[in-house]
Amino acid sequence: MRKQVVAIVGRPNVGKSTLFNVLAGEKISIVKDTPGVTRDRIYADATWLDKSFTLIDTGGIEPESNDVILSQMRDQAQIAIDTADVIIFITDVKQGLVDSDSKVCDMLRKSKKPIVLAVNKVDNFQKDILDMYEFYNLGIGDPHPISAASRLGIGDLLDVVCEYFPESDGEEEDDETPKIAIVGKPNVGKSSLVNKLLGENRVIVSDIAGTTRDAIDTLVTHDEKEYIFIDTAGLRRKSKIKEEIERFSIIRAVSAVERADIVVIVIDATEGVTEQDAKIAGIAHDRGKGIVICVNKWDAIEKNDKTIYEHTRDIRDVLSFMPYAEIIFISAKTGQRINKLFDVIDMVIETQSMRVGTGVLNEIMSEAVALQQPPTDKGKRLKLFYITQVAIKPPTFVIFVNDKQLMHFSYTRYIENKIRDTFGFKGTPLKFIIRERK
Ligand code: GDP
Ligand code: GDP
């Protein structure tokens, strides 16, 4: 089952970030070599009992004045409605019920999304609880008292949130059609690309059952194979604040990426690869998705025999955390190499699901170890006992070692490269889990 997306919505200062940090805990995903993505806490992995989900904080930008608070909250609520499976609407018991709370609540209620009402700053469950009852007036069900700062009521809140998650043995599993998210900064050509994909291929429906979003999932048939394209371009948010536009585009990307098997990252050839591209790409990498990098508007730039080489080098440089990604140069306008895009997607679908036998893996690992001795620390040498593949999408390997502390990132990377030398695994990240065996 795909990971559920939970968004936190509320006025400034009600405690969104505090709650976000409590829920994300230590789990805020930190992949050392993924730049940008982890600097701002827009999204994080969270778990509660046996459930794991992706948490999104829709806030984060301080409105400059009171009169923009409401419009900004509406934007945030809309983003949550567009992207989340469950919305936590958070209010503040100390400030009480405020007009903008009610207005935003109307909007949330109309969306028919599951909404969980949290009343924060109930620091004293005996004393403050009476003030909580006015929040029934919002008409979205029971208010759940919490104190984010003192971590009170959090478990009960999460129980309610998780009740809205589908049972994991749902029908979703049966759907084998590959899902491909098209992501990228505004104006790189995402909509044009989607239109091109649709235009040249038979479109069957544009509304896949089971998705709660606006009709942005499109089923496309190409060479008698089916693909579902998840288009983030349609979900545009207008805003004057640059950081806000950027934040929204990241939130959109997170939720699209979460639902996808493969992510097509669109880059604008006329602009070259940027930090913002790296942030968006980092999300897909972090999430272990298959990756295709599409350099679009290839028709619009002057080219000589070095151009492809230069673009490739710049992309490898800025996106150095995903050397495995395939890069193709396309034009959504002229249709150049659109067929190639399908070929690359097919290849990535295959590599993401590839399984390698334990025997071969252990041969590769022993050879690698023989070629380059594992590191030592304080006189103790790392020993690698055994490797086995435990999952696909992304291919995931467990390596048993004598001491986890000794298994440096760079040595894991070395083993990864040896596996890639033999099997390629083009277009997919590989995941390594290091376990100790005494
Ligand atoms: P945001 O703007 O909605 O993200 O709110 P913050 O998380 O930044 O919190 C705003 C203020 O409320 C900060 O000063 C927090 O320390 C405070 N705060 C957050 N949670 C609680 C709580 O449970 N009780 C009390 N008394 N204060 C809290
Ligand atoms: P989105 O915001 O990423 O969905 O980008 P759009 O699809 O709306 O495209 C933004 C602009 O780039 C539009 O003016 C498009 O006509 C233009 N554009 C998109 N793809 C191409 C392309 O392959 N070549 C050229 N020359 N222009 C393109």
Q: Which two tokens stand for residue 237?
A: 């948010």
Q: Using pLDDT thresholds of 50, 70 and 90, give the confidence band for residue 209.
A: very low
Per the annotation, does 138 bind a ligand?
Answer: no
298 alpha carbon to ligand 2 midpoint, in Å?
A: 11
The number of the ligand 1 atom at minimal distance from the alpha carbon of 10 is 3
Which residue, chain included where needed, has tokens 């306008």? Answer: 333
Instruction: Answer for the pair 25, 190: CB distance below 8 angstroms, yes or no.
Output: no
Q: What is the pLDDT of residue 66?
A: 66
Closest residue to atom 26 of ligand 1, CA basis:
121
Indicate whether residue 187 lines ligand 2 (CB < 6 A).
Answer: yes
> What pLDDT, on a 0 to 100 scale, did the predictor assign at position 61?
57
CB distance 188 to ligand 2 below 6 Å: yes
CA–CA distances in Å: residue 106 to residues 95, 103, 131, 140: 19, 5, 21, 9
> What's the CA-to-centroid distance between 268 and ligand 2, angstroms?
9
Q: Mind listing the pLDDT tens digit for each residue in 340-381?
A: 999 999 999 999 999 999 999 999 999 999 999 999 988 899
3-class SS of residue 275: helix
CB 196 within 8 A of CB 332: yes
pLDDT digits (tens, 9 = 90+) for 128-176: 888 888 999 998 999 999 999 999 999 999 999 999 998 765 444 546 8
Contacts of 35 (CB under 8 A, 6+ apart): 275, 278, 279, 282, 321
Question: How many C-beta atoms surround the C-beta of residue 11 within 10 A?
Answer: 22
Rounded to whole angstroms, the Cα distance separating 230 from 289 reads: 14
**pLDDT value at position 126?**
84
Which residue from 151, 185, 172, 186 is spatially nearest to 217, judged by alpha carbons? 172
Helix, strand or coil, per DSSP, at residue 353? coil
Q: Is 18 in the pocket of ligand 1 (CB under 6 A)?
A: yes
Structure tokens given for 79: 């983003």
Q: Whose CA is nearest to atom 10 of ligand 1?
A: 13
Q: Fold match between 4-164 and 358-436?
A: no
- C-beta 252 within 6 A of ligand 2: no
Q: What is the C-alpha to C-alpha distance for residues 325 and 368, in angstroms, rounded to an integer?
A: 23
Nearest CA residue ID for atom 27, ligand 2: 297
> Which CATH fold would you assign to the domain 4-164?
Rossmann fold (3.40.50)
The CA distance from 1 to 367, in Å, is 37
End-to-end CA distance of the chain: 34
Helices 16-24, 154-163: crossing angle, 10 deg rounding = 80
* Ligand 2 atom 25: residue of nearest CA: 297
Backbone angles phi and psi of 214, in degrees to 5: -60, 165
Cα gap 139→85, rounded to integer Å: 20
Residue 215: which pLDDT band, with cuts at 50, 70 and 90? very low
191 lines ligand 2 (CB under 6 A): yes
Global pTM exceeds 0.95: no
CB of residue 332 inside a 6 A radius of ligand 2: yes
Distance, CA 29 to ligand 1 centroid (Å)? 23
Ligand nearest to the CA of 187: 2
Q: What pLDDT band is residue 96 in, cutting at 50, 70 and 90?
A: very high
Determine if residue 239 is labeled as part of a ligand binding site: no
User: CA 384, CA 403: separation in Å to the nearest integer?
Assistant: 9
CA 190 to CA 294: how far, in whole Å? 10
Q: From the CA atom positions of the chain, what is the Rg in Å? A: 24
Name the closest-CA residue to atom 24, ligand 2.
Answer: 297
Q: Whose Cα sits closest to atom 14 in ligand 1?
A: 13
17 is in an annotated binding site: yes
Q: What is the pLDDT of residues 111-131, one digit of tens each?
A: 889 999 999 999 988 888 888
How far does residue 96's CA lie from ligand 2's centre (Å)? 47
Span from the CA of 183 to the centroid of ligand 2 (angstroms): 13
DSSP state letters, 225-255: EEEEEEE-TT-----S-HHHHHHHHHHHHHH
Residue with tokens 């829709």: 58
Q: Output the DSSP codes for 372-405.
A: SPPPEETTEE--EEEEEEEETTTTEEEEEES-GG
Per-residue pLDDT tens over the stretch 75-91: 788 888 888 899 999 99
Chain mean pLDDT for the chain: 85
- Which CATH fold would you assign to the domain 358-436? GMP Synthetase; Chain A, domain 3 (3.30.300)
The tokens for 264 are: 């097509």
pLDDT of residue 171: 47
For every residue of 2-66, DSSP letters joined together read PPEEEEEEE-TTSSHHHHHHHHHGGGS---TT-TTTTTS-SEEEEEETTEEEEEEE---S--SSH
| Domain boundaries, given as residue ranges, for the chain | 4-164, 179-353, 358-436
> Nearest to residue 196, comparing CAs of 170, 165, 222?
222
Identify the nearest ligand to the CA of 301 by its number.
2
By residue count, the chain amounts to 438
Lowest mean pLDDT across 35-44, 56-65, 212-221, 398-407: 35-44
Instruction: Say which residues have a Cβ less than 8 Å from residue 339's Cβ, sequence separation at least 6.
Output: none
| Residue 184 burial (C-beta neighbours within 10 Å; 0-12, 13-18, 19+) | buried
CATH topology of domain 179-353: Rossmann fold (3.40.50)
Cβ(153) – ligand 1 distance below 6 Å: no
pLDDT at position 31: 37
Residue of 123, 128, 183 whose CA lies nearest to 153: 123
Distance of CA 415 to the CA centre of its chain: 26
Cα–ligand 1 centroid distance for 403 (angstroms)? 41
Which residue has the least CA distance to atom 18 on ligand 2? 189
- Which residue out of 13, 19, 41, 132 has the highest number of ligand 1 atoms within 8 Å of its CB and is therefore the one to mutate? 13
The answer to whether residue 307 scores a pLDDT higher than 80 is: yes
Find out whether 306 is annotated in a ligand binding site. Answer: no
Find the DSSP H helices in 287-398: 307-318, 338-352, 358-371
In the prediction, which pLDDT does 115 show?
95
pLDDT at 200: 55
DSSP 407-431: --HHHHHHHHHHHHHHH--TT---E
What does the pLDDT look like over 22-70, one tens digit per residue? 888 754 433 334 444 444 567 888 888 888 898 888 875 555 666 677 7
Each residue's pLDDT tens digit, 271-294: 999 988 998 899 899 889 999 999
